[in-house]
Amino acid sequence: MLLALCTYFLWLSTTDLWTVQAKDPDTDVSPRTPHRDLAPSNVDFAFILYRHLVASFPGKNVFISPVSISMALAMLSLGARGYTRVQLLQGLGFNLTKMSEAEIHQGFQHLRHLFEKESDTMLEMAMGNALFLDRNLELLESFLADTKNYYEVEALAADFKDGPGASRQINEYIKNKTQGKIVDLSSKLDSSAMLILVNYIFFKGTWEHPFDPESTREENFYVNKTTVVRVPMMFQSGTIKYLHDQVLPCLLVQLEYLGNGTVFFILPEEGKMDTVIAALSRDTIQRWSESLTTGQVNLYVPRVVISGAYDLRAILGDMGIADLLDKEADFSGITREAPLKLSKVSVPRVPLIFRKKIHSTNNNKEHGAPS
């Protein structure tokens, strides 16, 4: 199987391992900015969440946008109070004795601005947040002001008693924001719902050195020891950054996007996928980045569509955010009305696509993910 990875970890996926990273263009200019202070906790949260999902879905592809999930939960913390708030932020990996809550939200604010800046380059990126709230629900001004200030949240009225109508409203909103790549986000809505918080992210990159569509051909893809399938395999031969890791049992290559984006493709040795996944960390990614060699490589990458849908309630509980969905959870910072209860934290099924601009192409990669 193959693994792919990303620096702010926009996406993590296990197909064989891959990760997509958004490089920070300000690294040499600003040694300390809020979004860079945020990065270590975000990356740690990403890998912990990823490992929990892999353990929960053995033998399955896992595809998530960690930054989308952490941003949505950080946004929710603005309305949490007491221990609920502390547990939520600590569960996201933040040390509240070293980083204030204001600095956390400023970090996400700067990160969102960084993504907007990147969308003006050769990388197409869109990230946003929305609150769909019952027409009769009155939000606290402080919550509305903070979510708009830090996360540029759009607050939209919805009629949840008309479940199908509210679903259409949410789906149409997300579809318009993601160039039609995320559809049918919402299906069945609870008529007792009062508020739905949505985070979405869309990314489309163009390879710095595109794959030639004429070179794509059917090849074997080894799902596991007993399963082999035929898939369209993209191919390019050229000077590529690669590493035969002497510490972990894997090979990896790093490809560049036009703009500030990179992707790692990691090929564990046979039967060693779990070993590599267990070792994924900030230090591992840093070591890989510093150890890459440039050389002639014949590279085959499966042309695939991957999707994932996950209910995160149990997993977040295992990660130390157990009280989030408890009836005693305190969200009194959202409204003065009857206490709100969080009923669901989910990542709907959305695709990751290696394809062309129209139909299936080898020269672009598209991702979309809501939370």
Inter-CA distances, 251 with 80, 186, 273, 296, Å: 44, 39, 12, 14
pLDDT value of residue 270 = 86
Residues β-bridged to residue 166: none
Which of 133, 46, 108 is closest to 331 using CA atoms? 133
Sign of the dihedral through C-alpha 93, 95, 96, 101 = negative
Residue with tokens 């939209």: 156
The amino acid at residue 316 is: L
Which of 105, 99, 196, 109 is closest to 156 using CA atoms? 196
If you compute the radius of gyration of the chain from its CA atoms, what whole number of angstroms results? 21
Q: Which fold has domain 2-370?
A: Antithrombin; Chain I, domain 2 (3.30.497)
Q: For residues 15-24, b (16+ Cβ closer than 10 Å) or e, as one string?
A: bbbbbbbbbb
Beta-strand ranges (E) seen in the chain are 2-6, 11-14, 16-22, 62-64, 124-134, 154-158, 195-206, 217-222, 228-244, 250-257, 261-268, 293-302, 305-311, 346-355, 364-370
Secondary structure percentages of the chain, helix, strand, coil, to 5: 30, 35, 35
pLDDT value of residue 17 = 56
Residue with tokens 């629900």: 137
Distance CA 255, CA 252 (A): 10
What pTM value is reported for the model? 0.85
Asked if residue 171 lies in contact with residue 156, where contact means CB atoms within 8 angstroms, the answer is no
Helix (H), strand (E) at residue 362: none
Residue with tokens 């042309």: 303
Task: Split the chain (371 residues) into runs of 10 and give each run's mean pLDDT.
Answer: 44 56 50 69 91 88 85 93 94 92 94 74 78 90 96 92 90 85 73 85 83 92 83 92 95 87 88 92 93 94 76 87 84 84 67 36 50 52
Asked if residue 59 lies in contact with residue 274, where contact means CB atoms within 8 angstroms, the answer is no
Inter-CA distances, 244 with 189, 279, 292, Å: 49, 16, 9
Distance CA 239, CA 263 (A): 16
Distance CA 210, CA 169 (A): 38
pLDDT value of residue 340 = 81
If you write DSSP's letter for every residue of 89-127 in order, what string do you get? HHHTT--TTTS-HHHHHHHHHHHHHHHHHHTTTTSEEEE
Distance CA 67, CA 107 (A): 12
DSSP 139: B
Label residue 76 exposed, middle or buried (CB < 10 Å: 0-12, 13-18, 19+): buried
If you write DSSP's letter for every residue of 322-346 in order, what string do you get? GGGGSTT---TTTBSSSPP-----E
Distance CA 208, CA 203 (A): 15
Asked if residue 371 lies in contact with residue 203, where contact means CB atoms within 8 angstroms, the answer is no
pLDDT value of residue 294 = 96
Which of 180, 187, 145 is closest to 166 using CA atoms? 187
Residues β-bridged to residue 307: 351
For the record, the structure tokens of 298 come out as 């014949």
Question: Within 13 A of 167's CA, how many CA atoms are on the CB side?
Answer: 12
